[in-house]
């Protein structure tokens, strides 16, 4: 029988590392549907969870997978699914339900080329805006972007903690290359894994219980089903009791809080990594596998005497607007390589607000960037 946490050094791929991160942070429910290039996450979970007293279930589709992990979360489990583009599209419906009902859960999206069936086995980063806006309605989300198997482990752990802290489905936006890349992954001892415990209601069950009465940070504590609170949970616009109220006033109150609980806690959520940005003329803003491809170009430029830095987005959503605004006043321009035809570049451009150049290095997917293309863009901006 395997231990809960595989403390030690491993040589594993990103998808496996993600599954182990989930197990390390206490995930004991996985529902999924096989889809390339994410399937290794489900396969790992199907081996590990039955050994650990957890539940693995292969659902009939991704609609069902997403619904099941929401239900499991209300049943008291830390729950997760893993998918790729076409499955992520199907999950959008119930990601919306998760946002509306404030259900903590984690969705790993190992991005591949699209639209539609696209490139099942080949890389892309084209679901970034879908992660932000893919479900209908007005809301805020949290999405993390790992760039290595180690980050697949670490960010899956963090995704669970953020989902519990802010009560929403959190996306881990990986990609085919990071998911299938095999590298050293260090799994710490259990006591070194940060765990955010679900906030329980402070008062015992009573008629005056309000399941959606938020704490000071905008997030309500959460009662699990079967704990006597007899709460109502609905995807309809609702009041603090959880009861449907179909009015503009109720909508304003609820949606404002759902947005504010992310917006006002941005500092606790947003993480990025800066390298050599202090005196840079050009900063490459990148995430996931493109952050690693950028390194070759950045180092080459630095060897040629150019002042180039990198802002690597560890969280993509919420977007680090403030930092981009600050940097925009200090540099000639931003270069944004991404494996799509332009998504995050528009966010960068919006925050730069004309203070500096913003140049996209697009790529429709199927392979990673040629670092030479990023190098040329940096040179162009540095002129």
Q: Judged by CB under 8 A, does residue 65 bind other proteins? A: yes
Contact call for residues 314 and 288 (beta carbons, < 8 A):
no
Q: Judged by CB under 8 A, does residue 137 bind other proteins? A: no
Residues 301, 307, 309: CA angle, nearest 5 degrees: 85
Whole-number Å distance between alpha carbons of 169 and 9? 30
Which of 31, 35, 172, 308 forms a contact with other proteins (CB under 8 A)?
31
Q: Judged by CB under 8 A, does residue 57 bind other proteins? A: yes
Q: Judged by CB under 8 A, does residue 71 bind other proteins? A: yes
* C-alpha distance from residue 166 to each of 16, 19, 142, 200, 266 (Å): 26, 22, 9, 13, 11
Q: What tokens appear for 158 in the block?
A: 């963090």
Q: What tokens appear for 286 in the block?
A: 């990148």
**Stretch of 48-56, 117-125, 177-185, 329-337 contacting other proteins, by CB under 8 A:** 48-56
Whole-number Å distance between alpha carbons of 15 and 368? 18
Contact call for residues 118 and 112 (beta carbons, < 8 A):
yes
Q: Binding to other proteins (CB under 8 A): which residues in 163-222?
A: 207
By beta-carbon proximity to other proteins, the closer residue of 71 and 364 is 71
Q: What tokens appear for 214 in the block?
A: 């938020």
Shortest reach from residue 105's CB to other proteins, in Å? 9
- Please give the size of the binding site for other proteins, defined by CB under 8 A: 50
Build a one-symbol-per-residue string for 72-111: x at contacts with other proteins by CB under 8 A, - elsewhere. Answer: xxxxxx-x-------------xx-xx--------------
Q: Judged by CB under 8 A, does residue 255 bind other proteins? A: no
Q: Judged by CB under 8 A, does residue 70 bind other proteins? A: yes
Shortest reach from residue 267's CB to other proteins, in Å? 32
Count Cβ neighbours within 10 Å for each residue of 346-361 and write b for 16 or more, e otherwise: ebbbebbeeebbbbbb
User: Binding residues for other proteins, per CB under 8 A?
Assistant: 1, 29, 31, 47, 50-51, 53, 55, 57, 59-61, 63-65, 67-77, 79, 93-94, 96-97, 207, 224-236, 243-247
């Amino acid at each position: 029988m395997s231990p809960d946490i595989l403390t030690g050094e491993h040589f594993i791929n990103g998808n496996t590392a993600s599954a182990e991160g989930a197990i390390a942070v206490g995930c004991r429910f996985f529902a999924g549907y096989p889809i390339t290039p994410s399937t290794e996450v489900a396969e790992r979970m199907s081996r590990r969870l039955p050994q650990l007293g957890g539940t693995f279930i292969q659902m009939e589709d991704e609609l069902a997978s997403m619904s099941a992990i929401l239900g499991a979360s209300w049943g008291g489990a830390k729950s997760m699914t893993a998918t790729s583009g076409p499955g992520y599209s199907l999950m959008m419906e119930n990601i919306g339900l998760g946002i509306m009902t404030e259900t903590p859960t984690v969705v790993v999206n190992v991005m591949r080329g699209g639209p539609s069936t696209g490139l099942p086995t080949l890389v892309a980063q084209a679901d970034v805006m879908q992660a932000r806006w893919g479900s209908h309605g007005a809301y805020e989300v949290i999405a993390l972007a790992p760039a290595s198997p180690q980050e697949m482990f670490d960010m899956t752990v963090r995704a669970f903690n953020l989902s519990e802290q802010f009560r929403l489905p959190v996306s881990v936006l990986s990609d085919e290359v990071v998911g299938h890349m095999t590298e050293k992954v260090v799994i710490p001892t259990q006591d070194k894994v940060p765990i955010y415990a679900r906030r329980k209601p402070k008062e015992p069950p009573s008629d005056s219980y309000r399941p959606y009465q938020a704490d000071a940070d905008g997030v309500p504590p959460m009662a699990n089903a079967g704990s006597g609170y007899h709460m109502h949970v609905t995807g309809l616009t609702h009041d603090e009791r959880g009861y449907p109220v179909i009015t503009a006033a109720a909508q304003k109150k609820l949606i404002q809080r759902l947005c504010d609980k992310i917006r006002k806690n941005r500092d606790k959520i947003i993480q990025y990594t800066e390298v050599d940005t202090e005196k840079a003329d050009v900063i490459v803003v990148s995430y996931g596998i493109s952050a690693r491809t950028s390194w070759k170009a950045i180092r080459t430029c630095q060897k040629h005497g150019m002042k180039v830095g990198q802002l690597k987005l560890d969280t993509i959503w919420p977007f680090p607007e403030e930092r981009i605004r600050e940097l925009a006043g200090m540099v000639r321009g931003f270069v944004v390589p991404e494996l799509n035809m332009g998504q995050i570049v528009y966010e960068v451009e919006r925050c730069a607000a004309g203070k500096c150049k913003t140049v996209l290095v697009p790529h429709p997917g199927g392979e990673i960037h040629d670092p030479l293309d990023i190098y040329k863009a940096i040179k162009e901006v540095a002129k």
